[in-house]
C-alpha cells in the first residue's frame, strides 16, 4: 500500500534514477505525481476505419498487424515497418531506431495504434505510433489520452503509465459519482462538498488524468480549481483576522476634529470630487476604530489620490501622531513634498521632513516633524520615528509585499504592541477578481471619477510606415502650441524592471532623436540608472518648460505631474500591458487642453493590434485591465508573482464566478472550523 505522502520511489517501476528526473519537474511525492496535471488531451474516442484516414491528422485505429519487417536506409539508420489492415483498407506504420519493436509486436494480433499520419514511400503511414494490445487496459491509444508537461527523460507516455498505476493502487479508478464518502481522502466534510457541488477529491484526481469524456474533465477541473482558490481565500481570511486582532496606534476622535478637517478641505484650491469625498469619509470612519486601517485606494492616474491621503495625514496630525509617506522614487518623494507643503500651507503649519538616499534630516528635525516623506530609506529610519500613527504607501504596486510588511513592522516596532493605520495608493486598476484574491486581505476603495475639465486623451496606433509623419506632426505641435512631449522607450527585455539594456537603448534613441529628428528642439533624457539628483534636475527642467521633449524609460516617470505635457509617444507599445499604457497615458492632458497619445508599434500580429486598439476605445483603466487579464493573463502586473499566485495550476485569476464562490465558502468554512 502506498500513501500520497510517500516518496515517488514507492511507486512500482520508479527507481532513484527516475526520481531524480522527476525532481526537476518538482515531483517528489506520490501526491506531487497525481497533481502533475495534463495540460491537454488527445481525443481518440473515435476509432476510425482505415479508409477514412487523412494525412496530417492524429488518429487512433484498431487493426491487426499483417506484416512486420526491419529495414535500413542507405545511411544505415534502422526502422521497423508494419502493415496494418482492416476490412476497409491498409496502412503502414514506421518506427525509427526502435529495433525491439520487431520482437514486441506479433503478426496476426489486433492492436490499437495511435499517432500522426504522414506519407512515407508514397503510402499513408503512421509515424512511430503508440500501440497497445486489444482487450487489455488501454491508456495510451484509446479514449481521451492525457498529455503532460514533460521533462528530460520523462515522457507523457511514461507519466501516464505511472499515474495510472498509482490511481489503481490507491483504488481511485474504481470510484464513481456515488462514492462521495466522508473519508480522510477529501479535505472537506461531505455536507460542505454537497453544498458547493464539489466532486469527491479522489474521483476528481482520477478523472483529471483518465476521463471518459470531456464533461468529466471539466467537473474535475472545477473541483481542483476550487481547492486552489479556496486555499488562497483561507489564507486571506487568516491574514485579515490576525490584522483585526491588532490594536491601532490611535483612533481619531472625529467629533472633536470634524470642523478642523472640514476647514482643511475647504482650504483646498479646488472642490473635492464626489468620489474623493466618499473615500475621505470612509477613511475617517476607519481611523475612528481601534483596529488599524488596512485600506487600498485605487484611482486612475490624475484622479487625485494625494489630497485624500493628505486628509488622513492631517487627521493623524490633529490626533498628535506622526505620518510616514513612502514613495517608490526620490522624484516622487520630492513632488509630494512640494504639493503637500502647498496643500497644508493655509490650514496648518505641519512640519514636513524629507528622508531619501540623498537627503537626511537631522534627528531633531525628524523628531519634530509631523510628516516624514521618503523613499526606501524609510526602512532604515532611525529610532526618532516615534509615535507613528499612519503610514501611506504611494504607488504600492512598486513595492514588494515583503517591503510593505517591513515598513509596517517598522511602525509597530516604534509603538510596541500598536500598529499604525495603513493606507496604500495605487493607480493600477484592479479587476474585482484580483481584488478578491491578490488583495483579499485589504479593504478596497476606488476613486472612479476624474476632477472636472479633463478631456480623454486621443490615442492613435502608429505603424512603422507612418512613424516619420507622426514625428513631424509632434514637432509641429510643440512649435506651434508650445506643448511638451514625453517619448517613452520600450522595455528591451521581457521584464518590467529596468535593465542596463533598456537604458542603453534609451540613450541611443535619445541621441538619434536629438540629432536626426528634432535638431531644433531641446531634449532631455531620464532613466533609472541616473543618480537621484541628476534625475531630479532633468525633471525640474522639464516641468519649468526648459525642455521640449523628455525621453524616458518606462519605469521612471510613474506619478510625476507635468501640467504642460500634452503629447506622448510610446515606443514598442505592444510590449506593455494595457494597464501600464493607460498609466503612462495618464501623465498627459492635465491642463484641460486636448492631449494626444501615439502608440508606436511594429507588430503585425492581429491579436496584439486588437489589444492595442482597446486603448483607442477605452479611457477607463479598469476596463482595460480586465481586457488584458482576459487576453494575457495576470502577468506580473498585479503583484501576482510576488504573492505566489503563480503557483495556480488550474484555477484562473480571471474566473470571478469561482473566486466569489470560494470566498463565500471560506467564510463559511472558517465558521465551521472556528478559525
Ligand atoms: P494621482 O491620483 O495620480 O496621485 P494627484 O493626486 O497627483 O493624482 O492629482 C493630480 C492633479 O489633480 C494634481 O495637480 C491635483 O492638485 C489635482 N486635483 C486633485 N483633486 C482635484 C479636484 N477635486 N479638482 C481639481 N483638481 C484636482
Ligand atoms: Mg500619485
Instruction: Report domain extents, the chain.
Output: 46-141, 258-447, 458-644
Q: How far is the CA of 306 from the centre of ligand 2 (A)?
A: 6
Q: Which residues line ligand 1 (CB under 6 A)?
A: 270-273, 276, 299, 301-307, 427, 451, 561
Residues, CB-to-ion distance under 5 Å, ligand 2:
559
Pocket test for ligand 1, best of 302, 312, 450 (most atoms within 8 A of CB): 302
Q: Which ligand is nearest to the CA of 274?
A: 1
- Tell how far the Cα of 389 is from the centroid of ligand 2, in angstroms: 21
- Give 418 or 476, the one with higher predicted confidence: 476
Rounded to 5 degrees, φ, ψ at 476 are: -65, -45
**For residue 639, pLDDT beyond 60:** no
Residue 346 — very low, low, confident or very high, per pLDDT cuts 50/70/90? Answer: confident
**Alpha-carbon gap, residue 301 to 568, rounded angstroms:** 15
CA nearest neighbour of 638 among 431, 333, 384, 369? 431
* Ligand 2 centroid from CA 335, angstroms: 9
**Cα gap 32→7, rounded to integer Å:** 9
- CA of 276, closest atom in ligand 1: 23
Q: How far is CA 186 from CA 38, 180, 192, 648, in A?
A: 21, 9, 11, 19
Q: Among the residues of 245-273, which ranges form H helices?
A: 254-266
309 CA → ligand 2 middle, Å? 10
Tens of pLDDT, residues 357-397: 888 888 888 888 999 999 888 877 655 567 889 999 997 76
Cell digits of residue 223: 473541483
Nearest-ligand number for the alpha carbon of 561: 1
pLDDT at position 480 over 80 = yes
Task: Work out the pLDDT band at 473, boundaries 50, 70, 90.
Answer: very high
What is the CATH code of the structural domain delimited by 46-141?
Answer: 2.40.50.140
CA distances 641 to 294, 431, 438, 633, 635, Å, are: 21, 16, 10, 12, 8
Of 19-23, 358-362, 390-394, 489-493, which range is least confident?
Answer: 489-493
pLDDT interval class at 641 (50, 70, 90): very low
Task: List, as one string, the DSSP characters of 122-177.
Answer: TEEEEEEEEEEETTS--SSSSEEEEE---BTTB-HHHHHHHHHHHHHHTTGGG--T
- DSSP, collapsed to helix, strand or coil, labels residue 484 as strand
Atom 23 of ligand 1, nearest CA residue? 272
CB of 602 within 8 A of CB of 490? no
- For CA atoms 392, 396, 398, 399, the dihedral sign is positive
The owner of cell 476605445 is 617
Quote the CA–CA distance of 265 and 253 in Å, as a whole number.
17
- Rounded to 5°, angle at Cα 344 from 343 and 346: 95
The CA distances from residue 429 to 92, 269, 662, in Å, are 58, 27, 23
pLDDT at 675 over 60: no
| CA distances from residue 396 to 108, 122, 233, 392, 629 in whole angstroms, order as listed | 70, 64, 21, 9, 20
> For residue 642, what pLDDT is reported?
47
CB 602 within 8 A of CB 577: no
Task: Answer yes or no: are the C-beta atoms of 587 and 569 closer than 8 Å.
Answer: no
The set of cell numbers assigned to 615 is 486603448
d(C-alpha 165, C-alpha 158), whole Å: 11
Atom of ligand 1 nearest to the CA of 308: 6
Give the model's pLDDT for residue 635.
58
Nearest protein CA to atom 25 of ligand 1, as residue: 451
What is the Å distance from ligand 1's center to 307 Cα? 7
C-alpha–C-alpha distance, residues 21 and 151, integer Å: 7
Q: Are 25 and 19 within 8 A, CB to CB?
A: no
Higher pLDDT, 589 or 296: 296
Alpha-carbon distance values, 392 to 294, 300, 308, 333 (Å): 10, 17, 11, 12
Strand partners, 347: none
- Beta strand pairing status for 388-393 and 322-326? parallel
Q: Which is nearest to 404 in space by CA: 431, 425, 430, 383?
A: 425
Atom of ligand 1 nearest to the CA of 563: 14
pLDDT of residue 383: 59
Q: Which atom of ligand 1 is nearest to the CA of 307?
A: 6
Quote the CA–CA distance of 585 and 405 in Å, as a whole number: 31
Q: Say if 46-141 and 258-447 have the same CATH topology.
A: no
Number of H helices, E strands in the chain: 21, 22
Cα angle: 664, vertex 670, 675; to 5 degrees: 150
- Distance of CA 199 from the midpoint of ligand 2 (Å): 47
Residue whose Cα lies nearest atom 5 of ligand 1: it is 304
Residue 304 CA, distance from chain mean position: 26
Tell me the β-bridge partners of 210. Answer: none
Tell which CATH classification among 3.40.50.970, 3.40.50.300, 3.40.50.1980, 2.60.40.10 matches the domain 258-447: 3.40.50.300
Of the listed ranges 405-419, 499-513, 519-533, 571-585, the one predicted with least confidence: 405-419
Q: What is the pLDDT of residue 223?
A: 96
Give dist(CA 512, CA 632) in Å, integer: 33
Query: Which atom of ligand 1 lies closest to the CA of 447?
Result: 2
Q: Which atom number of ligand 1 is nearest to the Cα of residue 586?
A: 3
Closest ligand 1 atom, residue 394 Cα: 4
* Interval between CA 301 and ligand 2 midpoint (Å): 7
Please choose, from the candidates 133, 199, 151, the residue with its C-alpha nearest in 3D space to the C-alpha of residue 17.
151
Supply the residue whose CA is at minimum distance from atom 19 of ligand 1.
Answer: 304
Distance 488 CA to ligand 1 centre (A): 23
Q: Say what the pLDDT of residue 241 is.
A: 85
Mean pLDDT of 331-358: 86
Ligand 1 mutation pick, 306, 450, 557, max ligand atoms within 8 A of CB: 306
How many CA atoms lie less than 13 Å away from 86 in the CB half-sphere?
Answer: 15
How many C-beta atoms lie closer than 10 Å to residue 62's C-beta? 19
Q: ∠ CA(77), CA(82), CA(83), 5° rounding?
A: 140
Over the chain, what is the mean pLDDT? 86
The closest residue, in CA terms, to atom 16 on ligand 1 is 304
Q: How far is the CA of 339 from the centre of ligand 1 (A)?
A: 10
Model pLDDT, residue 672? 65
**C-alpha 304 – ligand 1 centre gap (Å):** 3
pLDDT digit string (tens) for 277-297? 999 999 999 999 999 999 999
Q: Checking DSSP bridges between strand 418-419 and strand 371-374, what pairing results, if any? A: unpaired
Q: Does residue 408 carry a pLDDT above 70?
A: no
372 Cα to the center of ligand 1, angstroms:
21
Q: Does domain 458-644 sit in CATH 3.40.50.720?
A: no
Threshold 0.85, pTM exceeds: no
Closest atom, ligand 1, to C-alpha of 303:
2
Amino acid at each position: 500500500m502506498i500513501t500520497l505522502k510517500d516518496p515517488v520511489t514507492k511507486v512500482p517501476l520508479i527507481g532513484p534514477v527516475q526520481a531524480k528526473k522527476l525532481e526537476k519537474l518538482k515531483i517528489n511525492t506520490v501526491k506531487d505525481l497525481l497533481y502533475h496535471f495534463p495540460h491537454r488531451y488527445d481525443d481518440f474516442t473515435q476509432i476510425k476505419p482505415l479508409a477514412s484516414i487523412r494525412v496530417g491528422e492524429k488518429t487512433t485505429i484498431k487493426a491487426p498487424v499483417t506484416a512486420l519487417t526491419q529495414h535500413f536506409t542507405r545511411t544505415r539508420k534502422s526502422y521497423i515497418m508494419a502493415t496494418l489492415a482492416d476490412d476497409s483498407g491498409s496502412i503502414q506504420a514506421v518506427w525509427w531506431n526502435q529495433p525491439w519493436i520487431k520482437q514486441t509486436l506479433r503478426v496476426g494480433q489486433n492492436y490499437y495504434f495511435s499517432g500522426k499520419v504522414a506519407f512515407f514511400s508514397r503510402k499513408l503511414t503512421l509515424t512511430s505510433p503508440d500501440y497497445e494490445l486489444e482487450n487489455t487496459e488501454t491508456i495510451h491509444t484509446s479514449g481521451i489520452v492525457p498529455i503532460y508537461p514533460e521533462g528530460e527523460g520523462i515522457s507523457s507516455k511514461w507519466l501516464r503509465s505511472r499515474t495510472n498505476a498509482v490511481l489503481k493502487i490507491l483504488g481511485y479508478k474504481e470510484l464513481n459519482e456515488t462514492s462521495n464518502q466522508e473519508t480522510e481522502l477529501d479535505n472537506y466534510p461531505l455536507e460542505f462538498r454537497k453544498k458547493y457541488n464539489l466532486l469527491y477529491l479522489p474521483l476528481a484526481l482520477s478523472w483529471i488524468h483518465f476521463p471518459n469524456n470531456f464533461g468529466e474533465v471539466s467537473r474535475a477541473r472545477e473541483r481542483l480549481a476550487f481547492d486552489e482558490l479556496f486555499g488562497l481565500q483561507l489564507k486571506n481570511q487568516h491574514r485579515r483576522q490576525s490584522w483585526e486582532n491588532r490594536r491601532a496606534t490611535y483612533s481619531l476622535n472625529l467629533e472633536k476634529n470634524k470642523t478642523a478637517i472640514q476647514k482643511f478641505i475647504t482650504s483646498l484650491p479646488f472642490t473635492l470630487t464626489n468620489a474623493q469625498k466618499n473615500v475621505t469619509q470612509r477613511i475617517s470612519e476607519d481611523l475612528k476604530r481601534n483596529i488599524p486601517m488596512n485600506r487600498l485606494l485605487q484611482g486612475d492616474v490624475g484622479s487625485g489620490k494625494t489630497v485624500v491621503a493628505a486628509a488622513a495625514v492631517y487627521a493623524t496630525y490633529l490626533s498628535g501622531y506622526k505620518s510616514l509617506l513612502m514613495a517608490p522614487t526620490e522624484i516622487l518623494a520630492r513632488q509630494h513634498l512640494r504639493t503637500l507643503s502647498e496643500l497644508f500651507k493655509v490650514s496648518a503649519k505641519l512640519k514636513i521632513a524629507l528622508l531619501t538616499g540623498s537627503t537626511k534630516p537631522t534627528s531633531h528635525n525628524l523628531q519634530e516633524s509631523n510628516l516624514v516623506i521618503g523613499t526606501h530609506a524609510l526602512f532604515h529610519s532611525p529610532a526618532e520615528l516615534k509615535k507613528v500613527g499612519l503610514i501611506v504607501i504611494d504607488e504600492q504596486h512598486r513595492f514588494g509585499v515583503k517591503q510593505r510588511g517591513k515598513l509596517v513592522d517598522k511602525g509597530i516596532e516604534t509603538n510596541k504592541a500598536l500598529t499604525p493605520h495603513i493606507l496604500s495608493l495605487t493607480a493600477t486598476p484592479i479587476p474585482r477578481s484580483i481584488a478578491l484574491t491578490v488583495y483579499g486581505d485589504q479593504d478596497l476603495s476606488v476613486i472612479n471619477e476624474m476632477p472636472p475639465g479633463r478631456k480623454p486623451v486621443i490615442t492613435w496606433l502608429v505603424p512603422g510606415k507612418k512613424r516619420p509623419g507622426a514625428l513631424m506632426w509632434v514637432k509641429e505641435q510643440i512649435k506651434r502650441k508650445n506643448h511638451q512631449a514625453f517619448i517613452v522607450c520600450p522595455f528591451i527585455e521581457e521584464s518590467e524592471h529596468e535593465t542596463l539594456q533598456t537604458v542603453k537603448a534609451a540613450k541611443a534613441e535619445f541621441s538619434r532623436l536629438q540629432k536626426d529628428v528634432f535638431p531644433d528642439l531641446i531634449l532631455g533624457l531620464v532613466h533609472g540608472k541616473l543618480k537621484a539628483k541628476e534625475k531630479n534636475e532633468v525633471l525640474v527642467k522639464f516641468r519649468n518648460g526648459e525642455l521640449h521633449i523628455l525621453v524616458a524609460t518606462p519605469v521612471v516617470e510613474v506619478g510625476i505631474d507635468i501640467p504642460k505635457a500634452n503629447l506622448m509617444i510610446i515606443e514598442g507599445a505592444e510590449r506593455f500591458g494595457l494597464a501600464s499604457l493607460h498609466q503612462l497615458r495618464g501623465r498627459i492632458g492635465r491642463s484641460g487642453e486636448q492631449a494626444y497619445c501615439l502608440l508606436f508599434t511594429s507588430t503585425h500580429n492581429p491579436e496584439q493590434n486588437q489589444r492595442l486598439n482597446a486603448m483607442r476605445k477605452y479611457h477607463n483603466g479598469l476596463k482595460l485591465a480586465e481586457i488584458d487579464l482576459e487576453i494575457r493573463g495576470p502577468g506580473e502586473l498585479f503583484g501576482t508573482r510576488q504573492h505566489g499566485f503563480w503557483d495556480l495550476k488550474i484555477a484562473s485569476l480571471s474566473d470571478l464566478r469561482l473566486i466569489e464562490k470560494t470566498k463565500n465558502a471560506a467564510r463559511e468554512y472558517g465558521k465551521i472550523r472556528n478559525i
